[in-house]
Amino acid sequence: MLEAMARKTANDAPLAPVTLAVGQEDLLLDRAVREVVAAARAADADTDVRDLTPDQLQPGTLAELTSPSLFAERKVVVVRDAQDLSADTVKDVKAYLGSPAEEITLVLLHAGGAKGKGLLDAARKAGAREVACPKMTKPADRLAFVRGEFRSTGRSATPEACQALCDAIGSDLRELASAVSQLVADVEGTIDEAVVGRYYTGRAEASSFTVADRAVEGRTAEALEALRWSLATGVAPVLITSALAQGVRAIGKLSSARGGRPAELARELGMPPWKIDRVRQQMRGWTPDGVALAMRAVAEADAGVKGGGDDPEYALEKAVVTIARAARSRGRG
């Protein structure tokens, strides 16, 4: 209990004697380092920062770096990939953990796996301040990350805007963080889905799925606006028909599936759990007849954009309107 309390207190102090950043997400690891360095330089502008890789931290090096100085200078020693340190260097680090030096902050970056676990356990036992830096492989985690980025700036973004940004940017956390920074710098007030669309619909796949999402949700005007923007920015019509087909098929699959938790349905239908949740929200108002009507509309649009008609844009508009109407077949407005 005492150790847990000590760790909790340390977590509030970037200048704790030892910070342990655990995980494999490079952006978060770099931020953990920057936070400590910024705090140290706020306390002493002349703080000396040493950023070392395992091959640079040989046996005896840590003792040299942390030995008392005549000038009592503040120092931050960063050790990257601590799980790859040699056995002799690990002994040095463990010894240091038992008696850390004043005015020195040690930052250990560790991947968190089984390799080098002894050092990880020793740092935790010593009460190191710990920062979690996990690789964000799940869409829900990246969505939470984007929401957190907006919150950290004191700005508001709608849930739809956060999801649209994730859809447009993809899985790269650095790009997501950069996109949030750009939107916060350029846009006043609440950031909504339309704003994200104006900035990032140049990404064809995301733009196509925006059209499909708005159509299957029965939001005719917004679907048509997204369609016109997509076409104006050069998105190939065939990508839009493909997205429409996927959207309608997902509604049909889920509406005919047996009830169950998202994880169970995901396995049954071949969709990720986050998509199950989204489609559940979109399928209100749909009927089996509506799904059949929408699939015919998609097939006609597909033929139209592949040469079966004179006006691909009109074929897409007609399909979008038909799908949006089918989405409201149970009176959904």
**Do 175 and 268 share a structural domain?**
no
Is pLDDT larger for residue 308 or for residue 253? Answer: 253
Q: How far apart are CA 31 and CA 50, in angstroms?
A: 16
**Do 118 and 22 share a structural domain?**
yes
**Do 268 and 187 share a structural domain?**
no
Question: For residue 318, is it within any domain?
Answer: yes
Question: For residue 48, is it within any domain?
Answer: yes
Instruction: Residue 265: give its domain's CATH number.
Output: 1.20.272.10
Domain boundary residue among 115, 133, 151? 133
Question: For residue 332, is it within any domain?
Answer: no
**Do 213 and 322 share a structural domain?**
yes
**What's the average model confidence in pLDDT over 84-90?**
95
Instruction: Residue 177: give its domain's CATH number.
Output: 1.10.8
Q: What pLDDT is attached to residue 267? A: 67
**Do 287 and 192 share a structural domain?**
no
**Do 43 and 124 share a structural domain?**
yes
List residues bridging with 48 in a β-sheet: 75
Question: For residue 12, is it within any domain?
Answer: no
Question: For residue 263, is it within any domain?
Answer: yes
**Do 98 and 37 share a structural domain?**
yes
The tokens of 102 are what?
A: 């004043």
**Do 183 and 232 share a structural domain?**
no
What range defines the domain where residue 143 resides?
139-200
**Do 89 and 41 share a structural domain?**
yes
Q: What pLDDT is attached to residue 204? A: 46
Give Cα separations from 59 to 97, 172, 254 (angstroms).
15, 36, 60
**What's the average model confidence in pLDDT over 206-234?**
84
**What's the average model confidence in pLDDT over 253-257?**
78
For residue 56, name the pLDDT band (cuts at 50, 70, 90): very high
Does pLDDT of 265 surpass 80? no
**What's the average model confidence in pLDDT over 321-332?**
79
For residue 69, name the pLDDT band (cuts at 50, 70, 90): low
Question: For residue 189, is it within any domain?
Answer: yes
Q: How far apart are CA 132 and CA 263, in angstroms?
A: 25
**Do 317 and 218 share a structural domain?**
yes
Domain boundary residue among 133, 150, 175? 133
**Do 169 and 153 share a structural domain?**
yes
For residue 145, name the pLDDT band (cuts at 50, 70, 90): very high
Question: For residue 8, is it within any domain?
Answer: no
Question: What's the domain count of the chain?
Answer: 3
Domain boundary residue among 200, 216, 233? 200
Q: Which of 331, 329, 328 is closest to 221 using CA atoms?
A: 328
Question: For residue 293, is it within any domain?
Answer: yes
CB of 314 within 8 A of CB of 231?
no
Close Cβ partners of 37 (under 8 Å, ≥ 6 residues apart): 47, 49, 76
Q: HEC string of the chain? A: CHHHHHHHHHCCCCCCCEEEEECCCHHHHHHHHHHHHHHHHHHCCCCEEEEECHHHCCCCHHHHHHCCCCCCCCEEEEECCHHHCCHHHHHHHHHHHHCCCCCEEEEEEECCCCCCHHHHHHHHHCCCEEEECCCCCCHHHHHHHHHHHHHHCCCCECHHHHHHHHHHHCCCHHHHHHHHHHHHHHCCCCECHHHHHHHHCCCHHHHHHHHHHHHHCCCHHHHHHHHHHHHHCCCCHHHHHHHHHHHHHHHHHHHHCCCCCHHHHHHHHCCCHHHHHHHHHHCCCCCHHHHHHHHHHHHHHHHHHHHHCCCHHHHHHHHHHHHHHHHCCCCCC
Does pLDDT of 34 surpass 70? yes
Strand order from edge to edge, sheet including 104-110: 48-52, 75-79, 104-110, 18-22, 129-132
Instruction: Residue 105: give its domain's CATH number.
Output: 3.40.50.300
**Do 124 and 44 share a structural domain?**
yes
